[in-house]
Chains A and B, each alone.
Chain A
Amino acid sequence: MVTRPDRLLLDLLREDLGLTGTKKGCERGECGACTVLINGKAVVSCLIPAFKADGAEILTVEGMAEGDRLHPLQQAFWEEGAVQCGYCTPGMLLSAKALLDESAESSVEEVKRAISGNLCRCTGYTKIIQAILAASEKIRKNGSKVPRE
């Protein structure tokens, strides 16, 4: 697709592609709600010009589940009660996924650090951290590549 040089990735995803699962919370890279994965790395899409992602693999929350099968992180967030208002949830999921894709043996401290750029005003992070650790354990048990429910 063709886009303007000043078009931000977040706006391209939300407005041009209709992928509104990625959330806009501050437009200054301060809240993490717009986190997506570019070639597996978690980035805040509100600070990235869209053209910089040309040719890259971009994962948004819409791409996490495979059909009806939730990603283990989504499943764990659901089961642990890690979702409240839901606005930080897509960004949280993707920050967590970047961590678990790198290593499914993360400690509590590593999990906290991985989501420290994602603000949440509802949950106090406690159940989010529990969910990420639970998903991590499930992924470890099932092997890193076939963890789907």
Chain B
Amino acid sequence: MKEPYDIMIVGQSVPRVDALSKLTGNAIYAGDISFPGMLHLKLLRSDRPHAKILNIQTEQAERHPGIIAVLTYKDIPVNRINLGKPDQPVLCDEKVRYIGDPVALVAAESAESAEEALPLIRVDYKDLPGVFSPEEALLPETVCIHENDNLLLDRTVLKGDAEQGLKDSEVVITNTYRTQMVEHAYLEPDAGVANYEEGRLTVWMPSKYAHADLRELAGVLGLAVDQVRVVNTTIGGCFGDKTSLSPGYYAALASLRTKKPSKMVFSREESFIGSRKRHPFIIHYTTGATREGRIVAVKVEMIADAGAYAASTPGVLVKALIHATGPYDVPNVFVRARSVYTNNPVAGSMRGLGVPQVAAAHESQIDILAETLHLDPFEVRLKNGLKPGSFTATGQLLRESVGLAETITKVKEEISRRGIPKASGSKRYGWGTAAMFYGIGAAGRPNPGRSVIEANDSGDFELYVGCGDVGQGSSTVLAQIAAEVLRCKTEKIRVIVGDTDCCPDSGVTAASRLTYVVGRSVQIAAQGLKELLQRSAASLIEIAPEDVRFEKGFFYPPEAPRRRISVAQAVKRLKEEGLSPRAEGVFDPETKALDPKTAQGSPMATYAFATQGALVSVDVDSGEVEVLSLVACHDVGRAVNPAGVTGQIEGAVSMGLGYALMEEVLLKNGRILNPSFSQYFMATSLDMPETQSLLVEAEEPSGPFGAKGVGEPALIPTAPAILNAIYAAIGFRAKELPVNPEGVWRFLRSVPEKGTDDPGATPGVKGSS
């Protein structure tokens, strides 16, 4: 919709609505909440990857001083979570399926007592063979982790004829890529507090979807939904996790059973062991193209390790499936994506939902294609890139808001302008690039955003949304959208988030959907409220509503600005008429479900596009890779808050750098070997490159003021851009993540001449020599 007024608030880097409380130490995170007489909780977790539970004896632990209760599966009415695929117990009953699977819950007067009681619980197990490799999980003779075989999901994309397309291709490139397991590593360890009082359970937790947590909690505890209230606390980072079976669930169980307020906070090690992970993928990728570099066919087969339970694997796998060809117009496509159960830690949703994994593959492939054909990698991307009028791999016609080409061109220009540093000493330099597209919101199913806005007696506004601000700044963006429509400063909008008693169900904070989906619902709600107020003001001024102007909190006739009516007066009038100064907005993006066999359909209403370029230096003596610069160009539709957008990009660069070069959850027979920040390496301030954010605003007509989203898109191209830069610098084509110095060093030893000769056979992005 075109706005009949000048845009004033949207597009401004308005300071965050929650910054002040966070800067003064006043923001309340779940771990900061305490009640007098509160119980402290600890989980006994399985120390073995796969075993039958024969018996659990809790008596000795119950007798330990300070212990109030020891709870097991017997205390849980419906001991399965995950409404889509109810395969995961809250506390294990028949079996344990990964190291860390929760078996018993201790509620004690102090955290120390709870800790002391854990070894006093006796669990008799019968060990079963462990399954740790996703390929092994698929073999018919492998033990089943759940009832049937270990295949959790098997989906395909079929478009055109990929086999024929490959036969017709003049160049065919086949490679296998492996990506690693990654920890979300939000700084706030998982925590939750619950209090059962007068027949009602209140749970305070860092929830990205309070309404879903409420439904699931009520379900497992055998309570009616109106007996549970979930209140969102400040979320200290999430990146897709902090969902389902978080400490809030156990606090709720304990409080319900003991009738005392209960609190659980994970230690960092427990957060590593008990939280979900980014899926490791194995990706077999074949690209067929003409001699001119036009992609004819793509064939992909991939396996994702889901770990012990389904969790959010279906959503992740489908996103990986439909984005597997990358942001390119490919006429013939075959993609098969399978996910399998193993006895590894549970994988879940993490920023990008499977797309960072496939992007590492398709962006390496297109670089290899360019190099093979002696073409400029930017030109090959432009030649094949999606543009208005293109069809995606799922057969979706992209009509508008396709800014890919502009992002490619801008990054190319910026990189060319900067040039490549000359090799010096043991340092070699190279620029690499990578592009991506990412569908905003859930794939091929309804994901409505809802919001409610109210004007109060003093003429300010209260905006109610169910979706938590995980730190990305959604509350600020939503307030800006409301302020824009209601012609006021952002400070006039108070945002109330994630309290199931007063907020509507806005859907989950995930899939980069908040600005686009919930933001649009806020725009609709604010528009509705504005019209209500305008009618009321018009009746006071005694002119037609359409003749009323509205600016800075006042309604007035354009020819007589002094006959103005304030929002507060309009509210008063509405109330006198028995009307409520309140409006609701609902927006559900138009999608077409995916065909179950071919995955053809229009799964998302809009897509974000991006290209990034990375400059690396590689030390040919030590194998160390340093990322020096990162140029990130993103088509966000419209940047509602440019500082928020660049903040997302810069944060994603640090996470993408970690994905490419340092982060990996190391496993041995299902056990995490590095569950601490001193062993799991993430980027520090010393690792960060200089980052330049460039924005493209190819407006999305269905989005609020044209906006799409950026949270996950920002991450997706970073790692492949770094991989391609390493190739440009030294000719090392890494196909396994992360690339560590040892791997680079081994490569350099195996082909010593590569480190000193000019490997930059690729025009456009050359390495230095």
Contact = CB atoms under 8 A, between A and B. Distances in A.
Nearest to A84: B471
Interface stretch (B209-217, B233-241, B375-383, B617-625): B233-241
Interface stretch (B120-128, B427-435, B682-690): B682-690
B685 A112 contact: yes
A124 B187 contact: no
B187 A33 contact: yes
A34 B26 CA distance: 15
Given A81-B15, A113-B686, A124-B683, A26 B27 contact: no
Contact of A121 (B21, B23, B268, B651): B651
B508 interface: no
Contacts of A122: 237, 471-472, 647, 651
Given A26-B677, A30-B677, A87 B686 contact: no
B23 A25 contact: no
B115 to A, nearest CB: 13
Contacts of A78: 15-16, 19-20, 23
Question: Which residue among B24, B652, B676, B686 has the maximum number of chain A CB atoms within 10 Å of its CB?
Answer: B24
Nearest to A71: B23
A62 interface: yes
Interface string B235-253: 1111100000000000000
A88 B652 contact: no
Interface residues of B, number: 58
Nearest to B20: A78
Contacts of A28: 268, 676-678
B685 to A, nearest CB: 4
B651 A83 contact: no
Contacts of B187: 23, 25, 31, 33, 85, 87-88, 119-121
B332 to A, nearest CB: 39
A59 to B, nearest CB: 11
A8 interface: no
Chain B CB count within 10 A is highest, among A21, A23, A79, A124, for: A124
A86 B654 contact: no
Contacts of A70: 23-24
Given A74-B23, A127-B647, A119 B239 contact: no
A77 B19 contact: yes
Nearest to B24: A65
B598 interface: no
A22 B25 contact: yes
B644 interface: yes
Contacts of B31: 20, 24
B239 A121 contact: yes
A123 B650 contact: yes
A97 to B, nearest CB: 12
B208 to A, nearest CB: 12
B581 interface: no
Contact of A25 (B25, B268, B473): B268
B600 to A, nearest CB: 37
B643 interface: yes
B25 A84 contact: no
Interface string A117-139: 11111111111110000000000
B653 interface: yes
Given A26-B268, A87-B236, A125 B685 contact: yes
B42 to A, nearest CB: 14
Contacts of B601: none
A60 interface: yes
A22 B31 CA distance: 11
B23 A126 contact: no
Given A28-B268, A83-B16, A62 B682 contact: no
A74 B19 CA distance: 9
B63 interface: no
B647 A84 contact: yes
B299 to A, nearest CB: 36
Contact of A24 (B15, B25, B185, B189): B189
A81 B643 contact: yes
B64 interface: no
A143 B235 CA distance: 37
Contacts of A116: 684-686
A26 B187 CA distance: 8
Nearest to B688: A125
Interface in B126-159: none
Interface in A27-56: 27-28, 30-31, 33
A114 to B, nearest CB: 8
A122 B188 CA distance: 11
Contacts of B20: 78
Contacts of B685: 111-113, 115-116, 118, 120, 125, 128-129
Given A22-B25, A116-B686, A126 B237 contact: no
A6 to B, nearest CB: 10
Interface string B681-699: 0111110100100000000
A104 interface: no
A60 B22 CA distance: 13
Contact of B647 (A15, A20, A62, A81): A81
A15 B653 CA distance: 36
B292 interface: no
A14 B27 CA distance: 14
Contact of A124 (B18, B25, B652, B678): B652
B20 to A, nearest CB: 7
B188 A23 contact: yes
A78 B234 CA distance: 17
Interface centre among A21, A90, A93 (most CB of B within 10 A): A21
A74 B677 CA distance: 27
A24 B268 CA distance: 9
B453 interface: no
Contacts of B646: 81, 127
A64 to B, nearest CB: 8
B316 interface: no
Contact of B267 (A27, A77, A89): A27
B471 A85 contact: yes
Contacts of B238: 85
Interface string B440-476: 0000000000000000000000000000001111000
A90 B32 CA distance: 14
23 contacts: A19-B25, A20-B28, A21-B25, A24-B189, A24-B265, A28-B677, A61-B23, A78-B15, A78-B16, A79-B15, A81-B643, A85-B236, A86-B23, A86-B27, A86-B471, A93-B23, A113-B685, A115-B685, A118-B685, A121-B187, A121-B654, A124-B655, A127-B643
Closest 4 CB pairs of A and B: A21-B25, A85-B471, A86-B22, A87-B236
Given A23-B187, A30-B677, A81-B647, 14 more contacts: A21-B26, A25-B187, A27-B268, A78-B16, A80-B643, A85-B188, A86-B19, A86-B23, A90-B25, A116-B685, A117-B684, A120-B654, A123-B654, A124-B654
